[in-house]
Structure 1
Amino acid sequence: MHQFTDKVVLITGGGAGIGRAAARQFAAQGARVVVTGRREAVLQELAGENPRIGYVVADAGSTQDAAQTVRTVIERWGRLDILVNNAGAGAILPLAEAGVERVREIFAVNVIGPSLLATAALPHLKAARGAIVNVSSTFGHKAAPGLSHYAASKAALEHMTRCWALELAPDGVRVNAVAAGPTETEFLSERMKLSPEQVVQVKAEEAARIPLGRRGVPEDVAPWIVALAAPGAAWLTAQVITVDGGLDAA
């Protein structure tokens, strides 16, 4: 099915993990996909797989990059139909160790970045009667020790999803979110800055808590991002869909 033919999809943090899997799936369904990230070599590799995938080097936490990213998309591809706020930052950060720089970094990527990008994209999304899909986490609505600031940032993103959905409904722009559970990506090492030993420990602990018995893979989550943006979801907005092997209920 080519249900996204000629649609332009912008995915932040698209060079790896869930974002990369979503980019591939959107492209397979006919979309022109633009991925962003800070590592150009990774973005180039992905773009080399499929002529329908392009990229813009940009930092999701940079206040300057948001408007420039949208300008570049419009200059190169002429329109913007779907925005996927996928890039994320986090930390296992006990309250006693919470310094201003770590907290600021988390909120810059998870809250401020999606807000500024959505603001810059809004005229084009309204013109296309398009969609925004935000990528949250189970911990956006499930408490856990050591995750207060990461969880709070994702809770903010989920509530922004609902508020934006109500605000933009008269313009025909739908806003939903996918709350992903623990997924096999580089997030623990790259974004949470855990040591290899810590990564192994955290993964084992998470797998043990998930009712379906394993951590997810990007291909478990990406189809739900695509589905929320698809024409078949035309009457769906203001929803947060949790995809986490049952962790949310455990």
Structure 2
Amino acid sequence: MTVSPASHLQDHVAIVTGAGSGIGRATAIALARAGARVLGVGRRAEALRRTAAHHPGITALPADITSAGAPQAVIEAATDRWGRLDVLVNNAGATAVMPLADTDAARVADLLALNVTAPSLLAHAALPHLRAGRGTIINISSTYGHCPLPGAAHYAATKAALEQLTRSWALELATDGIRVNALAPGPTESEALTAAGLPDGVVEQIKQDEAARIPLGRRGTPEEVAAWIVHLAGPAAAWITGQILTIDGGLELTSG
């Protein structure tokens, strides 16, 4: 039977963290349009409601994935509702402008908790279900997971950690039929810079500077990244694991 691209994830169940905006919202919508039943997870209930309003296949779950017991509860929310889990998209993350001179332990710990520990615990909790259905984990890294980022080294380090987890889990879980890959977007239109506490004027200047450094001349869109996440989740990517796919308009070519 030929499956149309519009429904190649029919009856699959996916969890997307950070689904209230940006790449997470676009991914939840794209997965639902491909036929999946999607649990969109995030801290902001109203933002998740707006995401869920885009497609009836999306269910919102407000949750702080860094809180004790939250990763297990998130996985159980999906499996109790739909009886399976096929795709875990570890998208939630934080950006922090933090030069070494301004580094403090609390901010480093917060970055690690959200960008490294929470995805690890979600994957741990999801593992029995992913084994049962030979599912997939897709981690969202960044160009700066493998390129230097002066002034935000700890953010870059958390993404480098996520990329190494991706490669290691891919080898560890291959015998279970579980594929693990990562997307590494470059600067993408989202609320991340504003969420990092930067003033509007600074955010706009950063966006202009980033666009000027990207060989293709612009920042990316969440939908462009989401399309590749859906591709990696689907049957056409069944022989791809342990890969870090960079989607950044050529930015990494200028950062070596």
Q: Which residue of 2 aligns with 1:216?
A: 220
Q: Which residue of 1 aligns with 2:109?
A: 104
What residue identity is the alignment partner of 1:75?
D
Structure 1: runs of 5+ lacking an equivalent:
none
Q: Which residue of 2 aligns with 1:225?
A: 229
C-alpha offsets along residues 120-150 of structure 1, whole Å, 9 cap, x if unaligned?
0000000010000000000000002111100
Q: Judge conservation of contact 1:177–1:239 (CA < 8 Å) in 2.
A: yes
Q: Which residue of 2 aligns with 1:198?
A: 202
Instruction: Work out whether 1:135 is the aligned partner of 2:149.
Output: no
Instruction: Work out whether 1:116 is the aligned partner of 2:121.
Output: yes
- Bigger CA drift: 43-52 or 67-76? 43-52
Cα distance in 1, alignment partners of residues 69 and 151 from structure 2:
31
Query: Equivalences for 1:1-250 in 2 at 5 Å?
Result: 1=5, 2-190=7-195, 192-250=196-254
Q: Secondary structure at the match of 1:23?
A: helix
What residue identity is the alignment partner of 2:212?
A
Q: Judge conservation of contact 1:62–1:108 (CA < 8 Å) in 2.
A: no
Structure 2: runs of 5+ lacking an equivalent:
none
TM score, norm. by length of structure 2: 0.95
Q: Judge conservation of contact 1:83–1:132 (CA < 8 Å) in 2.
A: yes
Cα distance in 2, alignment partners of residues 122 and 154 from structure 1:
21
C-alpha offsets along residues 44-78 of structure 1, whole Å, 9 cap, x if unaligned?
12212221110211113224211111111111121
- Bigger CA drift: 205-214 or 39-48? 39-48
Cα distance in 2, alignment partners of residues 103 and 197 from structure 1:
25
C-alpha offsets along residues 157-213 of structure 1, whole Å, 9 cap, x if unaligned?
0000000000000000000000010001000011x2211121011111111100000
TM score, norm. by length of structure 1: 0.98
What residue identity is the alignment partner of 1:241?
L
What residue identity is the alignment partner of 1:188?
L
C-alpha offsets along residues 59-104 of structure 1, whole Å, 9 cap, x if unaligned?
1322421111111111112111000000011211000101111111
Q: List structure 1 runs of 4+ shifted beyond 6 angstroms.
A: none
CA RMSD of aligned residues (A): 0.9
Question: Taking every aligned residue pair, what percent have the same amino acid on both sides?
Answer: 55
Cα distance in 2, alignment partners of residues 234 and 182 from structure 1:
28
What residue identity is the alignment partner of 2:178?
V
What residue identity is the alignment partner of 1:146?
G
Q: Number of residues paired by the alignment?
A: 249
Cα distance in 1, alignment partners of residues 161 and 103 from structure 2:
18
Q: Secondary structure at the match of 1:241?
A: strand
